[in-house]
Amino acid sequence: MADMDGFREAVNFGIGEKSETQDFHVKGASSLGWGMKDRLSRIFNPRTGRTVMLAFDHGFIMGPTSGLERIDLSIVPLIEYADCLMCTRGILRTSVPPVFNKPICLRSDAGSTILTELNRNVLIDVEDAIRVNASAMAVMFSAGDGEQEAVTASNLTKMADLGYRYGIPVMGVTAVGKQMARDARYFALASRVCAENGASIVKTYYCEGFEKIASSCPVPVVIAGGKKLPEKEALELCYKAVNDGAAGVDMGRNVFQSDSPAAMIQAVHAVVHDGLTPYQAFELYEDLKK
Ligand code: R5P
């Protein structure tokens, strides 16, 4: 029983004042439950509605990629500048100190490596995502792949069911196989199918006509950076993407393979959240690099 000494009666009921209806800053998420919204708010900045995810899950299919040989040396110093970390549970547990209080978008499926064709992707146990306090679970969807389309759609649907049960949003990751088209028609289809099957975030690639992909997807779309580009071009890519409707980036190689990864992630952040032009952002990059 609480101590009643000095108890003060409730007096300020705001009678006659309209209750504030809460609008939510993440696209398509207004009807979700509190846990989902809390996790999405950790990923997407409530001020801008956008995010800079730092992706370093590449090793799960590529092994020790350039820039990711030593996560402790290359990635840990960048964590403070990221809004969200995207990685596997193996790297999270072994190499990411649990002291940064950053949301984790956990790579939650596994399958073949780059040595073979995509095959039989499987899901991790949702309990493990809960154990590491994941804020989202990333699962691939491979549209148009005869063998894998149904398997990956089923994975995504299963993970979305589990995500709704435990309040963890799913990020649908649109695959780009060797034989697949990489145009707006393909990415719009793949992104929309992810959202229709329960994804609360979609990761795809920037391309000509990106505004149609973002506009026809009812949840936020973030773009992967793709292969390493000169810094100025990578910043242009970010600028065009957010101007065409992306809710931010999920960027890996263009950050950790940069000549100055810490300067680069800060420049990307300035484009995504503060609207810097590519020119201004590149100047910032050059300054920070010094
Ligand atoms: C690749 O295995 C992952 O899904 C990456 O997280 C994704 O492609 C983003 O990284 P990058 O910007 O290097 O393409």
Ligand 1 centroid to Cα of residue 52, in Å, is 13
Angle made by CA atoms 116, 153, 31, in degrees to the nearest 5:
140
One of 27, 37, 102, 203 is an active-site residue; which one?
A: 203
Mention the CATH class of domain 34-223+247-258: alpha beta
> Would you state the pLDDT for residue 181?
76
Q: What is the pLDDT along the chain (290 residues), one digit of tens a residue?
A: 777 788 888 888 888 888 776 789 999 999 999 999 999 999 999 999 999 999 999 999 899 999 999 999 999 999 999 999 999 999 999 999 999 999 999 999 998 888 887 777 899 999 999 999 999 999 999 999 888 899 999 999 999 999 999 999 999 999 876 667 789 999 999 999 999 999 999 999 999 999 999 999 999 999 999 999 999 999 999 999 999 999 999 999 999 999 999 999 999 999 999 999 999 999 999 999 99
How many Å apart are CA 246 and CA 248, to the nearest integer? 5
Phi–psi pair at 221, nearest 5 degrees: -110, 130
> Would you state the pLDDT for residue 178?
67
Phi–psi pair at 117, nearest 5 degrees: -75, 155
Instruction: Tell me the Ramachandran region of residue 91: left when phi exceeds 0, alpha when psi lies from -120 to 50, beta otherwise.
Output: alpha
Residue whose CA is at the smallest distance from ligand 1 atom 3: 58
How many Å apart are CA 13 and CA 7, to the nearest integer? 17
Q: Is 178 a catalytic residue?
A: no
Contact 80, 87 (CB under 8 A): no
- Ligand 1: which of 57, 88, 221 to mutate, most ligand atoms within 8 Å of CB? 57
Q: Which residues line ligand 1 (CB under 6 A)?
A: 55, 57-58, 61, 86, 173, 224-226, 250-254
> Would you state the pLDDT for residue 77?
98
Q: Is the pTM of this model over 0.85?
A: yes
> Would you state the pLDDT for residue 3?
79
Strands 104-107 and 51-55: unpaired
Q: Select from 34, 27, 23, 52 the least CA-distant residue to 200.
A: 27
Ligand 1 centroid to Cα of residue 142, in Å, is 15
